[in-house]
Amino acid sequence: MKSSTTMLPSNIANYASFFLLIISIILLIVGSKAQLNSTFYDNTCPNASSIVRGVIQQALQSDVRIGASLIRLHFHDCFVNGCDGSILLDNSANIQSEKDAAPNTNSTRGFNVVDNIKTALENSCPGIVSCADILALAAEASVSLQGGPSWTVLLGRRDSLTANQAGANSSIPTPFESLTNITAKFTAVGLNTNDLVALSGAHTFGRAQCRLFSSRLYNFSGTGNPDPTLNSSYLTTLQQICPQSGSGFNVANLDPTTPDTFDNNYFTNLQNNQGLLQSDQELFSTSGAPTISIVNTFSSNQTAFFQSFAQSMINMGNISPLTGSNGEIRSDCKKVNGS
């Protein structure tokens, strides 16, 4: 009896230490997940979301493509060093711009609209809203303004002090890659197969340059023939838009059915062998791929697609953000402060 009473305080101390350790770990995990939140600007810039939306609404009046272009900027930003606004930085003495990386050069667009958003925000609440958060807010507004879902954008990202051109060249999925390679690039940033298919659905609006898919029209994989997965009448249409001797900079609709509306027709197009990019059609035409059943679900159920897309956008927006005292809030999205 005596020995058990003398052991009791020691046991209590051990248990207490153990529980404190567990609580610390839980707080650490919760804290890391809670760094971004939907109320981040509620006190400092409560109109941030409506300001972003207003500028995009205005831009859409003269450029129906701008929504797709803006969501692409967010995507290409997040896949390189996380969602840190690095894609927006111009070349400087210390920075090799991601704009000049192969997936972005002569291709990414909408930077002027981002600048207009930043100017409007700086006029309303100077030094508060980051360029990285502008991209996240712009992506949501672009989708919802063109018929797609809305979601609660998590905020609190800060802007990078540098860019990673080499990372942009290696990390951003390209239209020419196999489904295996693209899946690996999504996995590398913590996104799964459902995220891959859902986010590919952003190709329900916007355009692509002929140079990104012309090999499918004439000489697919060095065969001297078109991609056999291309619908024959769709092939003829695309060959008219993109002649073999053309410049490669003509554009075709990513969704030939409803090119400027955010809906689930993209997935029906894949079922009909009308995916524009190789990377699109592979989601449905790669034998035995786990993506096929997801394409079928999204094609038959737009609500399921919208719900998955919204969640996958939140997941993508959570990739390695700079928070707290890391990075800065750029006053001009094209350059780091003081440069």
Give the CATH number, domain containing residue 163.
1.10.520.10
DSSP code for 101: S
Sign of CA pseudo-dihedral 240, 283, 165, 158: positive
**Token pair of 192 as six digits:** 């799964």
Q: Are residues 302 and 201 in the same domain?
A: yes
Dihedral (CA of 5, 11, 15, 21) sign? positive
Residue 74 marked in a binding site: no
Residue 258 labeled ligand binder: yes
**CA 135, CA 149: separation in Å to the nearest integer?**
17
CB 40 within 8 A of CB 77: no
- Is the same domain home to 140 and 157? yes
**Cβ–Cβ under 8 Å, residues 104 and 87:** yes
Q: What are phi and psi of 202, to 5 degrees?
A: -65, -15
Look up 76 and say whether it is catalytic. yes
pLDDT in tens, 196-245: 999 999 999 999 999 999 999 999 999 999 999 999 999 999 999 999 99
Check whether 115 is labelled as a binding-site residue: no
- Residue 295: give the domain boundaries: 179-315
Both tokens of 211, joined, read: 């140079």
Residues 131 and 205 in one domain: no
Residues 286 and 263 in one domain: yes
pLDDT at 29: 42
Angle at 91 between CA 87 and CA 93, to 5 degrees: 135
For residues 317 and 136, what is the distance between their CA atoms, to the nearest angstrom?
A: 7
Q: Does the annotation list 263 as a binding residue? A: yes
Inside any domain, residue 99:
yes
320 found inside a domain: no
Measured distance CA(245)–CA(248) in Å, rounded: 8
Residues 153 and 188 in one domain: no
Q: Which range is least confidently modeled, 34-38, 120-124, 243-247, 305-309? A: 34-38
Verify that 195 and 159 share a domain, yes or no.
no
**77 marked among binding-site residues:** yes
32 has pLDDT over 60: no
Residue type, 66: I
Q: 76, 99, 118, 158: which one is catalytic?
A: 76
Tell whether residue 336 is among the known ligand binding residues.
no
Residue 227 in marked binding region: no
Those residues with Cβ within 8 angstroms of residue 153's Cβ, 6 or more apart along the chain or in another chain: 38, 49, 133, 136, 137, 140, 314, 317
Least confident of 1-5, 79-83, 126-130, 333-337: 1-5
Domain check: are 156 and 215 in the same one? no
pLDDT digits (tens, 9 = 90+) for 316-336: 999 999 999 999 999 999 999
Which is it for the CA torsion 290, 296, 299, 302, positive or negative? Answer: negative
DSSP, collapsed to helix, strand or coil, labels residue 12 as: helix
**48 close to 121: Cβ distance less than 8 angstroms:** yes
**pTM summary value:** 0.90
